[in-house]
């Protein structure tokens, strides 16, 4: 980013802190060799990993288990022309360890839709980037 573009680059710890303030993000993955984006509710684990909860039979699970994905969250104030955006890139994997699954069933996010045979998907935050726009001028 250029220093005169109106954006401020966010440090990793700032990105993870801001992510904790929202509950809906967008997962970016490949479906049938094409880019796909889906809004999903999510949670964060203590290490900053993104956690999703969904049905084991969902198309999303088949598409992202073992794949590198991107996950984006943001918050925008339209009146003030300000906001922030965070993107995490890393491998996604279904949590298969029974002890870990039980822990996430107690502390992790719940699916907002029907989730028979629920599974948790963990996205490791290998690359974390973010930027903030602070109050752009509306004058010409």
Which pLDDT belongs to residue 114?
75
**Phi/psi of residue 37, nearest 5 degrees:** -135, 130
Give the total residue count for the chain. Answer: 140
Task: Just give the CATH number of 7-133.
Answer: 2.30.110.10
- Beta strand residue intervals within 10-126, DSSP E: 24-31, 34-41, 43-44, 50-55, 68-77, 82-94, 118-123
For the chain, 140 residues long, the average pLDDT of each consecutive 10-residue run is 72 96 96 94 94 93 96 92 95 96 91 85 97 66
Residues 6+ apart with CB under 8 A from 31: 59, 63
Q: What is the pTM of this model?
A: 0.88
Which pLDDT belongs to residue 116?
79
Which pLDDT belongs to residue 139?
45
Cα end-to-end distance, the chain, whole Å: 23
């Amino acid at each position: 980013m250029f220093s005169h573009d109106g954006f401020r680059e966010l440090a990793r710890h700032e990105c993870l802190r801001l992510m904790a303030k929202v509950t809906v993000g967008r997962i970016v993955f490949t479906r049938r060799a094409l880019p796909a984006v889906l809004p999903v509710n999510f949670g964060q684990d203590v290490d900053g990993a993104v956690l999703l909860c969904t049905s084991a039979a969902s198309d999303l699970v088949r598409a992202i288990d073992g794949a590198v994905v991107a996950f984006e969250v943001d918050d925008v104030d339209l009146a003030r022309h300000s906001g922030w955006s965070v993107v995490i890139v890393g491998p996604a994997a279904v949590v298969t360890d029974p002890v870990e699954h039980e822990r996430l069933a107690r502390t992790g996010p719940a699916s907002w839709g029907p989730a028979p045979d629920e599974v948790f998907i963990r996205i490791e935050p290998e690359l974390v980037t973010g930027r903030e726009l602070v109050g752009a001028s509306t004058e010409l």
